[in-house]
Structure 1
Amino acid sequence: MRWTLKPIPPSDKVKSLANTLKIEPVLASLLVQRGIETYEQAKQFFRPSFDDLHDPFLMQDMDKAVARIEKAIANKENILVYGDYDVDGTTSVALMSTYLKTKHELVYTYIPDRYDEGYGVSYKGIDFASENDFSLIIALDCGVKAIEKVEYAKKLGVDFIICDHHRPGDTIPDAVAVLDPKREDCNYPFKELCGCGVGFKLIQALASKEGKTAEDLTEYLDLVATAIGADIVPINGENRALAYFGLQVINSHSRPGIQAILEQVNKTEFTITDVVFIVAPRINAAGRMKHGNYAVTLLSEQDPELAKNYAEAINNYNLDRRETDKRITEEALQQIEAHEEQDRFTTVVYDETWHKGVIGIVASRLTETYYRPTLVFTKSGDKLAASARSVKGFDVYNALEACQEHIEQFGGHKYAAGLTLEEKNYHAFKAAFEKVVSETIDPNLLTPEVQIDAQLDLHQITPKFYRILKQFAPYGPSNMSPVFMTENLSDTGYGKCVGADQTHLRLTVKQSQSQSQLVCIGFGLGDKLELTTNEKHFSAIYSVDENEWQGSVSLQLRLKDIK
Structure 2
Amino acid sequence: MRWTLQPKPDTTTIQHLAEALNVDTIIASLLIQRGIETFDQAKKFFRPSLDDLHDPFLMKDMDLAVSRIQKALAEGENIMVYGDYDVDGTTSVALLSSYLKTLSEQIATYIPDRYEEGYGISYKGIDYAHDNDISLIVALDCGIKAIEKVAYAKEKGIDFVICDHHRPGDKIPDAIAVLDPKREDCEYPYKELCGCGVGFKLIQAIAEGQDQTINDLLPYLDLVATAIGADIVPVTGENRILAYYGLQVINTNPRIGFKAMLSEVKKETLTITDVVFMIAPRINAAGRMKHGLHAVNLLTEENLETALQYASEIEAYNSDRKDADKKITQEALAQILENNEQDRYTTVVYEENWHKGVIGIVASRLTETYYRPTLVFTKSGSKLAASARSVKGFDVYNALHACSDYIEQFGGHKYAAGLTLLEEQYPSFKNKFEEVVSTTIDKKMLIPEITIDTLLELDQITPRFYRILKQFGPHGPGNMTPVFMTEGVKDTGYGKCVGADEKHLKCKAQKNEVAIGCIGFGLGPKYNLINQKQYFKTAYTIDENEWNGEVSLQLKLKDIN
TM-score between the two structures when normalised by the length of structure 1: 0.99
Aligned 1:245-260 pairs, distance under 5 A: 245-260=245-260
Tell me what 1:204 maps to: 204
Tell me what 1:519 maps to: 517
Cα distance in 2 between the residues matched to 1:213 and 1:398: 41
Cα distance in 2 between the residues matched to 1:479 and 1:486: 21
1:505-547 residue CA offsets vs partner (Å, 9 max, x unmatched)? 0111111xx1211001001101111111112110000000000
Cα distance in 2 between the residues matched to 1:417 and 1:348: 14
Cα distance in 2 between the residues matched to 1:85 and 1:374: 22
Tell me what 1:363 maps to: 363
Identity of aligned residues (%): 69
Tell me what 1:327 maps to: 327
Tell me what 2:102 maps to: 102
Amino acid corresponding to residue 480 of structure 2 in structure 1: M
1:212-231 residue CA offsets vs partner (Å, 9 max, x unmatched)? 22222000000000000000
> 1:501, CA displacement in angstroms?
2.1
1:53-76 residue CA offsets vs partner (Å, 9 max, x unmatched)? 000000000000000000001110
Cα distance in 1 between the residues matched to 2:9 and 2:259: 42
Q: Secondary structure at the match of 2:233?
A: coil
Q: Which runs of 5+ in 2 are unaligned?
A: none
Tell me what 2:85 maps to: 85
Cα distance in 2 between the residues matched to 1:207 and 1:123: 31
Cα distance in 2 between the residues matched to 1:457 and 1:229: 31
Aligned partner (choices 529, 536, 539) of residue 538 of structure 1: 536
> 1:265, CA displacement in angstroms?
2.2
> 1:12, CA displacement in angstroms?
1.2
Tell me what 1:193 maps to: 193
Cα distance in 1 between the residues matched to 2:507 and 2:19: 36
Cα distance in 1 between the residues matched to 2:2 and 2:325: 29
> 1:365, CA displacement in angstroms?
0.2
Tell me what 1:476 maps to: 476
Cα distance in 1 between the residues matched to 2:153 and 2:502: 58
> 1:131, CA displacement in angstroms?
1.1
Tell me what 2:229 maps to: 229
Q: Does 1:43 align with 2:40?
A: no
1:39-93 residue CA offsets vs partner (Å, 9 max, x unmatched)? 1100000001101100000000000000000000111000000000000000000
Aligned 1:103-118 pairs, distance under 5 A: 103-118=103-118
Q: Secondary structure at the match of 1:379?
A: strand
Tell me what 1:142 maps to: 142
Q: Does 1:392 align with 2:392?
A: yes
> 1:499, CA displacement in angstroms?
1.2
Aligned 1:452-531 pairs, distance under 5 A: 452-511=452-511, 514-531=512-529
> 1:502, CA displacement in angstroms?
1.1
Cα distance in 2 between the residues matched to 1:264 and 1:70: 41
Cα distance in 1 between the residues matched to 2:311 and 2:338: 40
Tell me what 1:64 maps to: 64
Cα distance in 1 between the residues matched to 2:261 and 2:131: 36
1:296-329 residue CA offsets vs partner (Å, 9 max, x unmatched)? 0000001111111101100110000000000000
Cα distance in 1 between the residues matched to 2:246 and 2:78: 30
Aligned 1:369-384 pairs, distance under 5 A: 369-384=369-384
Q: Which runs of 5+ in 1 are unaligned?
A: none
Cα distance in 2 between the residues matched to 1:84 and 1:210: 28
Cα distance in 1 between the residues matched to 2:210 and 2:297: 28
Q: Does 1:423 align with 2:423?
A: yes
1:143-195 residue CA offsets vs partner (Å, 9 max, x unmatched)? 00000100000010000000000000011000000000000000000000000
Aligned partner (choices 540, 556, 559) of residue 558 of structure 1: 556
Cα distance in 1 between the residues matched to 2:518 and 2:500: 18
TM-score between the two structures when normalised by the length of structure 2: 1.00
